[in-house]
A and B are shown apart, each in its own frame.
Chain A
Amino acid sequence: MGKNDKNKNVTQNEVTEDVKDEVKEEVTNTPKGKFKFKFTGVDIIIIVVIIATAAGVYNFISTNKVISKTKTIRYSFELLENQEGFTDLIKVGDNITDGVRNYNMGKVVEVSAEPYTILVADRIKSHYTEVALDGYERSVVTVEAKVTDEEDSIKVDGVYTIRGGQGIAVKGNGYSGYGFILSVERGDD
């Protein structure tokens, strides 16, 4: 590269820098070398919206703050419309899981077989009578589980909500069934 070429490059660079400075001066409207931060109306609105949103989120989280405690409770459920002998498959000590999402539901501490009944209209005595279905049984299972006790719910392992009357699908060691939660031990509220 010759001396003249070098001088030409320097001149081009200087010219480019000068143009950049001029453009910057025009855009920011500030003297060369000084940066002035200027709030626009939109900046203020955006800041206000962000602060309001943050305050709203904080308020929502703080008012819904749940003080929960962990404890062990027992609850019972029934499995319906099972063939005779099904209940023998359920053993004390079995771990029961939710058949839909595989959540832990607790450990079996008690199990019994009861007649599976349906209501039948007695049109002579004017009464609806529970009649046991031959060949079928109902399994009543009591489970012990570690739960979180919150203001409005009881959750096994903090995730699986249990309430009386709730429909359930469960699975254990080689068996599954459906039914309802019958009762949930209250313990100390």
Chain B
Amino acid sequence: MKFFDENGKVLGRFNALDVGVFVVVLVLCLGTVLKFTSVSAGTKKDIGVQTNTTVTYKVELEQVRDYFNQNVQLGDILYDLDSQKPIGEIVDIQVDVSEIYLDLFNGEVEMASYDNRYDVTLTIEGQGVKNDKGYFVDKTYEILVGSTRNFYTKYSIFQAKIVDLIK
């Protein structure tokens, strides 16, 4: 049997346009399923066994003023600015005076502290998954130590660096 018959039908039964529409819909459905169910680009072979887990990580802000501490509290929910999705709850806040290396007039290099500038470390706890590719909060938000991201809470907006992932 010819693929297209003399009437232009596919396999002698289906209208070519119908088949086109069906293929487009099928591709869209598959794309949607992959987008919203997979952890990231990759096959099941890539990600291996996936387990639900509590993902705990730390983000650090450098040289913020004391106003920041007024706007962030334990229990606040942290959001990713790009996706605007919640990525955990603040479970700990550590505040230290900011310090940085400074070369002095005597030729020595010392850690110099700042007036009214603080380094703040937030510990975040979120529900996520662990697999062979890494740790993900809310299935798609990958926790990468060393990456600088934009975050916000209900009362504060800031940029911070992920400095630790507690496994």
Contact B22 A126 (CB under 8 A): no
Contact A183 B67 (CB under 8 A): yes
- The segment from B50-58, B107-115, B131-139 found at the interface with A is B107-115
CA of A186 to CA of B76 in the docked complex: distance in angstroms?
12
Contact B77 A40 (CB under 8 A): no
Contact A41 B22 (CB under 8 A): yes
Given contact pairs A49-B25, A164-B71, A126 touches B157 in the complex (Cβ within 8 A) = no
Report chain A residues within 8 Å CB of B21: 42, 45-46
Report chain A residues within 8 Å CB of B102: 121, 123, 126, 128
Q: Which of A40, A49, A154 contacts B18 (CB 8 A)?
A: A40
Interface size (A, Cβ < 8 Å)? 28
State the main secondary structure of chain A at its contact with B.
mixed
Report chain B residues within 8 Å CB of A130: 115-116
Chain B residue nearest to A40 (CB atoms) is: B18
CA of A99 to CA of B73 in the docked complex: distance in angstroms?
30
Contact A128 B113 (CB under 8 A): yes
CA of A4 to CA of B44 in the docked complex: distance in angstroms?
83
Contacts of A156-189 to chain B: CB distance below 8 A? 163-166, 182-184, 186
Indicate with 1 or 0, residue by residue over A37-66, a CB within 8 angstroms of chain B CB atoms: 000111001100100000000000000000
Contact B71 A165 (CB under 8 A): yes
Chain A residue nearest to B22 (CB atoms) is: A45
Report chain A residues within 8 Å CB of B116: 130
Report chain A residues within 8 Å CB of B43: none
Q: Which of A119, A124, A128 contacts B105 (CB 8 A)?
A: A124
Report chain A residues within 8 Å CB of B153: 152, 163
* A-B contacts besides A154-B155, A184-B71, 11 pairs, CB < 8 Å: A40-B18, A41-B14, A45-B25, A119-B114, A119-B115, A123-B102, A126-B104, A152-B86, A165-B67, A165-B68, A182-B70
B residues with a Cβ closer than 8 A to A are: 14-15, 18, 21-22, 25, 64, 67-68, 70-71, 73, 77, 79, 84, 86, 100, 102-105, 110-117, 152-158
6 pairs across A/B with beta carbons < 8 Å? Answer: A45-B21, A49-B25, A121-B102, A126-B111, A130-B115, A165-B158
